[in-house]
Amino acid sequence: MRRNKSQEKRVAQERINVLFGLAEKEALGGNWARADRYVGLARTIGMRYNVPPSSEHRRKFCRGCHTFMLPSVTARVRVGGGKVAYTCIKCGRVSRFPYIRERRERRTRKAVEGKDTRREVPQEEEV
The pTM assigned to this predicted structure is 0.74
Decide if 68 contacts 24 (C-beta within 8 A): yes
Whether 127 shows a pLDDT value over 60: the answer reads no
Give pLDDT tens digits for 72-88. Answer: 999 999 998 889 999 99
Tens of pLDDT, residue by residue over 21-30, are 999 999 999 9
Q: Does residue 109 carry a pLDDT above 90?
A: no
What pLDDT does 3 receive?
85
Confidence of residue 121 (pLDDT cuts 50, 70, 90): low
- How many other β-carbons are positioned within 10 Å of the β-carbon of residue 46? 20
Other Cβ atoms less than 10 A from the Cβ of 56: the count is 9
Domain ranges of the chain: 5-113
